[in-house]
Amino acid sequence: MISNHEIDYRIFGSEMQCVEIELDPQETVMAEPGSFMMMQEGIEMNTIFGDGSQQSGGILGKLMSAGKRMLTGESLFMTAYTNTGYGKKQVTFAAPYPGKIIPLDLNRLGGRMTCQKDSFLCAAKGVSVGIEFQKKLGTGLFGGEGFIMQKLEGDGLAFLHAGGHVEERELQPGELLKIDTGCIVAFTKEVDYDIQFVGGIKNTFFGGEGVFFATLRGPGKVWIQSLPISRLAGRIISYGSVGGRREEGGLLGGLGNLLDGDGF
């Protein structure tokens, strides 16, 4: 296991955020493909298998690391950014959609976090990005996001991205929080995660909130997002579908459709 590099950072922006990572000579940060924004001269990019935590473990270790990422729906590859120059250098990564970037110091959070599979942005080299299987059958079958989530392990900094507003909650021992499955961003290893049936015929068929919701039981910390990307995408698709605008705004909406040529 490679020791985690101690990186410094600054987060910029309000709704469309980016994180600037400051690297000392020979320090490295690992990032998801497509998250790169800009970097200073002297930083070298290197595409690698997996998350970079198994680079000295032989071909089998590299293949297992890459395979775990594939199971979570991520790319087989990650990009390493290493400061090969002299003095401090900066590299910046951008959020993929409106929301917040969440810095997590794994050393202060028990060395392990469970998070949504599409929330990881970047991390110090040495942080392992693997898979977390939900042990309970009900959680796996009806968890909304599936029974596979991402697992972050190590003692370095990792950065997640979440949609909309992000709330951090500290759950007391035995405290139970019921939450939409898509709104979960991450939780610490002590938190017990399960799925619960909403209940009631009207709630099930007409509630519009799904048949199941997640339960998080303390102790531990949880991070919750107000706008999951799946919910945002669903609204955009609904708006762009045929007839999607005709119900908006009553008479004014109809006039708008006519002016746009949609009423002919």
Q: What's the pLDDT tens digit per position in 195-241? A: 777 654 444 444 445 567 888 999 999 999 998 877 777 777 877 66
261 in a structural domain: no
The single-letter code of the amino acid at 260 is: D
250 in a structural domain: no
pLDDT above 90 as % of the chain: 44
- The structural domain count of the chain equals 1
210 in a structural domain: yes
Kindly write down the DSSP assignment for every residue of 101-164, as one continuous string.
Answer: EEEEEGGGTTTEEEE-TT-EEEEETT-EEEEEE--SHHHHHHSSS-SEEEEEESSSEEEEEEES
164 in a structural domain: yes
pLDDT of the residue at 195: 79
> φ, ψ for residue 140 (rounded to 5)?
-70, -40
For the stretch 27-55, pLDDT in tens is 999 998 889 999 999 999 998 876 666 54
d(CA 198, CA 142): 12
pLDDT of the residue at 229: 78
H-assigned helices in 172-243:
201-206, 229-240
CATH classification of the domain holding 95 = 3.60.160.10
> φ, ψ for residue 7 (rounded to 5)?
-105, 155
Residue 69's domain spans which residues? 8-235
Q: Which residue has the higher pLDDT, 98 or 3?
A: 98
Tokens, residue 79: 């990009």
Q: Is the pLDDT of residue 146 over 80?
A: no
